[in-house]
Structure 1
Amino acid sequence: MGYLDSLLISIRTDDYFKYKIRDSLLLPNYSLEINLLKKNIQSIDSTIFRQELQAARLQSRLNLSIIQIEELKDYVEKSKIALEKSIFKKEINFIWEDYSIPSPKSIFSITFESLELNWKLFLIQIGMQKISAIISALILLVTFYLVISTLKKLKKDENETNEGGVFSRIRFLKKNPIIGVILGLTPLLLLLFEISYFAFMTFSLAAQVILASIIIFRNYEKLIFLKWAVGVIVFLFFTVSNLYWEIAYQERMYYLIGNLLILAVLVGIKTKFKSELVEETRLITWVRNLTVLFLVLATVANILGRFSLSKILSIAGISSFAYAVVLYFFVKVLTEIIFLMIEKQKNVDYITAYLNFQEIQRRLRNILVIVAIFIWVALLLQNLSLNKYILGSLTEFMDQERKLGDSTFTFGSLFLFAGLVYLSSLIANNVSYFISLNDQNISSAPQKKLGSSVLIIRLGILTVGFFIAATAAKIPLDKIAIVLGALSVGIGFGLQTIINNLVSGLILAFEKPIQIGDDIEVGNMTGKVKEVGIRASKILAYDGSEIVVPNGDLLSQSLINWTLSNKRRRVELIIGVAYDSDMKKVKELISEVLKNDKIMKFPEPKVHMQNFGDSSVDFRVLFWVESMDIYLDVRNEVMNNIFESFLENGVEIPFPKRDLYIKSLPELKKSQQEENKKSPEE
């Protein structure tokens, strides 16, 4: 509009209209053009005027809608305040008294109207965030494909080998791959959405509870499923009633029956969700007890006529228990998905798969449980209508400035700093672990390993995390530099050993004398490198023990790395034969045994006469094997074959012999003398 107005003004004031026509013959044409232009300008003016009127009408409607929305917000806020003030007051008669329902609508009409309205709001939420919905769908589809293809491959491989492995460690995905993926990813995918309507969250939670019911049906006993099914029916009814836009006292008896039914199921349950980890069983038990407490209080409030309070406690109780079970499966299934993605390219036996699964579960469990607890507490506070109050109070407490000397700080900045540093530490530790798993998988290709470079990656993550935490918490870096400078004096005197180990760790990272998975000897310690840390490294000894070696010792002591450039290993045997043996034949027999596919052809095996011993002629047998991992098995096989070959061909393997010559026995001589002294009569 503004552009058209300025254009018309520029046309009216154009100098073209001030020109004088000298040629009178052109005057009629000029006049005609001027009149035509005036008509067009008048038409444009009228069109602009109509558009301005239309815009004014739309603006008026918009203002009216904004006023109505504000009035509706005020009404909702006033109703909420009134409800909060009267929540502990008696709203309806006691349960034993006669009463009439103060509502003109039936419970069914209220239910259908609420469902219809909330379903529209749900679709509006999806339409408003199409990008988040598309991204979520793509993530689910890709994960479906990866999980199902991996499960088929693992099942086929283990059926061919008849050995348990990765597939045997999968519990929920094995029977329910599609449902498991949805249940394992949905709590995280919901974080992609900006939830504007309560209906969106309600329908999402109800869908997750239904999917969890299918997993329970396929993985647990029928009795457990039946009890869970009763709880799900009550949960769905409570969830639908929580969407009502008006109070319906008709549902009072339904709530009372539902509460008593769930209490009977929970109190009578003897078989709980079992887990290899005691903490998870305790968590389910604790949530169960909390649910019982909420439902008992809700039942008492219902009997005493506090209907709104009873409804809030009932919904909070049953929802907290149902979603705690959903989050339990979320932690389990997501752990299985990550385990599958890591192990799908590895050829591992049952024991290795079991150990890897336990370690991955241990590392991921803390992170996933923290996420699950956060989601569960947020939903519980929302169901109790305490989320805004708690969040407001917590925000006010965290953002309040406090003074310590001349410095000001807030608890929010301190917690943010500590949380980001802890998060960077978790990320660094888990990244190093998963890289070590990858290095173990490609142990035959040392050039592809990251090895001790993991230490640099860990230090990089920790350093970046520290600076991000300091920046996010608004901590001046110059003050951090002053503190570090002050600490350097104490570090120089009291922490020399620790600093030495830290610097040694950096040297190990850059020089790479050892890699994760290498077989090394340091002093009297022998084993496989499991982890190269910032201060110390871990060596997994061949007897299963884990040895923590300071990085300084790895550099100060003589270090033998059997697998620095390759995994080949030379095996040496000393074989002794009797002096009367045919030495040429012995050498031929040993050389024949060394013609083994597991023994390398180059360098070729050697058989040397080594030594003339006290009772044997010693032969030195040398041969190479391709991998350090099999040298003991090959050595055992070669020794057995040599022994059997010698036995078949009559070659004697001597052993120490001693001849004993008895000159006299004092006791025997003494007894003979006593017999000679006796009389003949005796």
Structure 2
Amino acid sequence: MNKANQLAVNGFHEAFKACFFILFIFLAVTVSAQSSLRTERSRNDSSLLADTNMLSTGDYLEGLERVYETLNKVPTVTASFGRIPEIKSKLAADDSTISLLKQRLSLNVRTFNLQNLQMFRTLLDEMTDNANGYNDIILSYDKDLDGIKKEIAALRKDTVIRQIFRTKALRDSFSVQIKALRLKRVGTDSIIRAATNTLNGLRAHVATNELAIQELLYQTNVQLKSIGPKAFLKEKRYLWEKRSSTTDAKYPEFNQMFDSEKKINTYYFKNTRSNRVLLLFTGLLFFVWVFYNFKSVKNHGKMDILEDLNLRLLTPIPILSAFTLIFALAPIFDLQAPALYLEFTQFLLLIILTTVFLKRLPRETLLSWGIFVILFIALSLVRLLGVSSQAQRWMILLINLMSTAFGVIALRKLKPIAGNYRILVIAGTLYMLFNGLAIIANMFGRTTLMQIFYTTGVYALLHTVALIVVVRLITEAFLLQIKASRMRKRYADHFEWEGIAKEFSTIISYLAVFIWFVLLTAHLDILEFFSEVIGSFLSTPRKIGSFSFTFGGVLLFLGIIWTANFLQKYVAYFFGETGDDTIENANAEHSRLLITRLVLLIAGFLLAVAASGLPVDKITVVLGALGVGIGLGLQSIVSNFVSGIILIFDRTIRIGDVVELGNRKGKVKEIGIRSSTLLSDDGAEIIIPNGDILSNNIINWTLSNNNIRVSLTVTIAKPFNKEEIVEMIKTIILDNEHVFKRKAPSVIINPLNGKWSTVKIFFWCNLNNTDAPKSTISEAIYQQLAEKEIETL
């Protein structure tokens, strides 16, 4: 039993050992598998997050490569700061100019030249804009530099790169790369530090200049504001008073002032462009335009067709004409230019105008012009002599006295021959008046007022003459364009150009008067005042109910509409379409021209609406209401109203025209919004609704000219010499003073039967004078036929 129990116990122990061994093997395999899984996961996490010591060599090299790429961006970024040398150079020039302006404004000169003060302000405004531009450029450079700095700072937080530099084994492994990287970093730090210092220095330099510019602007504005009140105060002693000391005998600061003024002028033209480039381009375009048309006519061998245009100023090589245009318009293109520049350009204008006038003006008129030129030059030289202020005042007084006397004499001779140039009489009166006022201001010590008066008087007359010449030049160039275009299209050589020239020159004259007025107010130092007052009036919002508008917007709207209408009308003239005999040459080009005119009108209207600022929603509401009203029975009224507007703008008929409307004929007496009035030959006034005028065929005898073809018929007996009869009749017609010679008469002989022939005679004369030439010519023909013993019926 014991042995059996012993065997059972031993069997149990063996079974237990076997189970325990199996369990141990299972646990070992499980733990080994989990350990392998954790190791694999840890390796994967290390490669993804770079946060353990299990990274590969490639990972470290990629990290070092990122550092190299970032550091290599630094020279590229700083190399893009290409405008730094330019800014440094301009700032140095600004420093020099600021120093000159400080010196100029600090001189002990009681009376500043008004033109120069305005130029100082313009120059300082330009320097302020330049400083703002410098700041924008520096700010963009600074932003780029900050961006690269942030990229470099981000590299320091990269765990891979940090591990390379913290682990000795890794530093030893990548020692070559780290050494090169450290050298690269030293160079990069130097570049960044230098760029940062440069940008900070430039920013500080610009800020310093801005403070100096603002101070100079303040001083300049104070001087300009003081000119008005100071002009009417006693600045110098009375001219007849004796000097209290000898200090006034010299003008010690003149050379210094003149030298600084020249340097400031140099900087002004070097650093301000204003509209001078546009002015030069305008002159060049005018030269090319005129030269091309003359050359085109000459190449066709038809220079003789220009004889009837009476081109008094234009020449085939219009160099003088182009320079006249440039220098006459120079002041308006640069209102705040330095006084020296203004005097120099106007002196050149005088020389050019004198050259133009030499062979074109009568001797007496040319002599008057020569006296004006001498007085102008004398007045300009006084300022450049550098004499004492007392001596300068006496010289100016003498010149003003001579100018006033010259103005009185010239006006007496000018008034009878002024003709259409009444503005010249006005300018002459102003010349005499302002010189007289300058004399009074000089005598009573008002030197600023004296300077304003004599400058305004001289330039008012000069600008008047120059602008009259410019208007004539542009008108002649326009007529030349029409003539050359007609020649290229093989139209008739002659066209009625007098009316076109008059209308075109009138429109250009309005623009010239506006320019003259702007220049006059600029010389009187009231242009800014006028601009502010008129600008405030035009820009102030007005309300009618809920509708808001400004007079400026309305004026702009009407101005654009008028300009579009002007362009659509004169674009045809520009291409030689004068409306008299071009109908016979109608082709596809006429259709394109009509489309162009329509596009100009539509584009002008849309541009006017957009530019005027009128609310489109309000316009659509008004149009909708009008549409409803028209639909409810206002068709007739609206039709007449719209027709009246069309007649006014399209000018199909004009006041004074002789027209036929159906069976009604008469002279247009009035064109109204709803109806128009005709005055018949019997004296009756015929009132016709405008809608009826446009809905009927209109015969306008005077739309483009007053010409009418008159016809005569004479029956003569055979036999006769046909050529002799034709020549005789044409001679009689051309000898009559009322017949237009430019349009050849026509004589047509047709046999009536074996014994008689009819002679049909056609010739052209004025519409308002047909009976007298018809009767005279008819009587002369019958008389000549009787003398030749040719029987007539």
Contact 1:140 1:182 (8 Å CA) reproduced: no
The match for 1:292 is 432
Q: Using the alignment, how far apart are the partners of 2:366 and 2:599 within structure 1?
A: 49
Q: Does 2:227 correspond to 1:83?
A: yes
- The 1:199/1:147 distance shift into structure 2, 3 A limit, reads farther
Instruction: From the superposition, tell whether residues 353 and 210 of structure 1 become closer, same or farther in structure 2 (CA, over 3 Å).
Output: farther
Moved more, 187-196 or 488-497: 187-196
Q: Larger % of helix: which?
A: 2
Find the counterpart in structure 1 of residue 397 from structure 2: 256
Distance in 1, Cα, partners of 2:530 & 2:561? 25
Correspondence for 1:308 among 445, 448, 453? 448
Selected match of 2:184 from 36, 40, 51:
40
Letter in 2 for 1:267: V
Instruction: Determine helix, strand or coil for the equivalent of 1:437.
Output: coil
Deviation of residue 577 (structure 1)?
7.8
* Offset from partner CA, 1:91-125 (integer Å, 9 cap, x none): 11111111256586358636852662364146326
Q: Which of 608, 621, 624 is 1:469 aligned to?
A: 608
Letter in 1 for 2:224: K
Q: Which of 338, 352, 376 is matched with 1:211 structurally?
A: 352
Q: CA deviation at 1:286?
A: 1.2
Deviation at 1:289, TM superposition (A): 0.9
How many Å separate the matches in 2 of 1:476 and 1:317? 46
Indicate the larger mover: 198-207 or 331-340: 198-207
1:224 counterpart letter in structure 2: T
Alignment of 1:267-666 (within 5 A): 267-269=408-410, 278-280=419-421, 282-346=422-486, 356-432=496-572, 434=574, 437=577, 440=580, 442=582, 444-448=584-588, 450=590, 458=597, 460-484=599-623, 485-486=625-626, 488=630, 491-494=634-637, 496=639
The answer to whether the 8 A contact 1:118-1:243 is kept is no
What is the CA-CA distance between 1:300 and the residue it aligns to?
Answer: 0.4
SS of 1:86 mapped into structure 2: helix
Residues 537-574 of structure 1, C-alpha deviations (whole Å, 9 max, x = no match) = 9xxxxxxxxxx998967875699xxxxxxxxxxx9x99
Task: Say if 1:136 and 1:414 are closer, same or farther in 2 by CA, change over 3 A.
Answer: closer
1:368-404 deviations in Å (ceiling 9; x for gaps): 1122112111111111111212211222222222333
What amino acid sits opposite 2:178 in the alignment? I
CA contact (8 A) 2:280 2:326 kept: no
Give yes or no for the alignment of 1:63 onto 2:189. no
Going from structure 1 to structure 2, the CA distance change for 1:245 and 1:557 (only over 3 Å counts) comes to same
Deviation at 1:256, TM superposition (A): 1.0
Report whether the alignment pairs 1:179 with 2:320: yes
Maintained 8 Å contact 1:172/1:333 = yes
- Other-structure match for 2:269: 123
Identify unmatched segments of 5+ residues in structure 2.
1-144, 653-658, 666-672, 677-686, 700-710, 727-748, 761-776
Q: CA deviation at 1:535?
A: 12
Residue 31 (str. 1) matches residue 175 (str. 2):
yes
CA contact (8 A) 2:274 2:334 kept: no
Distance 1:318 1:619 in 2: 73
Deviation at 1:343, TM superposition (A): 1.0
Contact 2:471–2:509 (Cα < 8 Å) also in 1: yes
Q: Which position in structure 2 is the counterpart of 1:542?
A: none
Moved more, 2-11 or 310-319: 2-11
**What secondary structure, in the 3-state scheme, does the structure 2 residue paired with 1:218 have?**
coil
TM-score by length of 2: 0.58
Root-mean-square deviation (Å) = 5.4
SS of the residue corresponding to residue 391 of structure 1 reads: helix
Q: What's the counterpart of residue 165 of structure 1?
A: 308
Q: Write the letter of the residue equivalent to 1:48.
A: I
Q: Distance in 2 between matches of 1:62 and 1:83?
A: 31
Letter in 2 for 1:6: K
1:325 aligned counterpart, secondary structure: helix
- Cα 1:276–1:94 change in 2 (3 A) is closer
Q: State how far apart, in whole Å, the 2-side matches of 1:278 and 1:91 are.
A: 43
Q: 1:503 to 1:427 in 2, by over 3 A?
A: closer
Q: Distance in 1 between matches of 2:353 and 2:607?
A: 39
TM-aligned CA deviation for residue 413 of structure 1: 2.2
Equivalent position to 2:361, from 220, 225, 238: 220
Deviates more, 1:309-318 or 1:115-124: 115-124
Q: Quick one: which of 113, 117, 124 aligns to 2:259?
A: 113
Alignment check: 8 A CA contact 1:401 1:410 kept: yes
Structure 1 residue 26 displacement after superposition: 8.2
Alpha-carbon distance in 1 for matches of 2:557, 2:262:
46
Note the alpha carbon deviations across 1:330-351, whole angstroms, 9 max, x for none. Answer: 1111111111121124469xxx
Q: Return the offset for 1:502.
A: 8.9
Percent identity, aligned pairs only? 21
Contact 2:487 2:493 in 1 (8 A): no
Residue number in structure 1 paired with 2:292: 146
Aligned equivalents of 2:225, 2:531: Cα separation in 1: 17
Cα distance, 1:59 vs. partner? 2.2
Give the whole-Å Cα distance in 1 for the aligned partners of 2:429 and 2:526.
Answer: 21
30-39 or 229-238: bigger deviation: 229-238
Does the Cα contact within 8 Å between 1:439 and 1:450 map onto a contact in 2? no
CA distance in 2, matches of 1:501, 1:133: 41
Residue identity opposite 2:146 in structure 1: G
Aligned CA distance change for structure 1 residues 314 and 197 (closer, same or farther; 3 Å): closer
For 2:429 and 2:751, locate their aligned partners in 1 and report how far apart those are by CA, in whole Å.
Answer: 79
Runs of at least 5 residues in structure 1 that lack an aligned partner in the other structure:
510-519, 527-533, 538-547, 560-570, 595-606, 623-635, 656-682
Cα distance change on mapping 1:239 and 1:473 into 2, 3 Å: farther
Superposition deviation, residue 129 in structure 1 = 6.7
2 CA distance for matches of 1:577 and 1:33? 125
Q: Deviations over 1:186-240 (max 9, x none)?
A: 5568777796766655544443333222222332234433432332343345557
- Whether the aligned pair in 1 keeps the contact of 2:236 and 2:445 (CA below 8 Å) is yes
How big is the shift at 1:266? 1.0
The change in CA–CA distance for 1:203 and 1:309 in structure 2 (over 3 A counts) is same
Cα deviation, 1:280-315, whole Å, max 9, x if unaligned, reads 2x2111111122111111110100111111111111
TM-fit CA distance, 1:148: 5.1
Query: Closer, same or farther in 2 for the Cα pair 1:271/1:331, shift >3 Å?
Result: farther
How far residue 409 of structure 1 moved from its aligned partner, in angstroms, is 2.7
Aligned-pair CA distance for 1:327 = 0.8
Aligned partner of 1:37: which letter?
L
Paired with 1:337 and 1:609, the residues of 2 have a C-alpha distance of 50
Q: Give the alignment partner of residue 198 of structure 2, picking from 48, 54, 65.
A: 54
Task: Tell me which residue corresponds to 2:42.
Answer: none
SS at match of 1:278: coil
Which one has the largest radius of gyration?
2
SS in 1 for 2:548: strand
Q: How far apart are residue 170 of structure 1 and its match? A: 0.8
Using the TM superposition, give the Cα deviation of residue 358 of structure 1 relative to its aligned residue in structure 2, in angstroms.
2.0
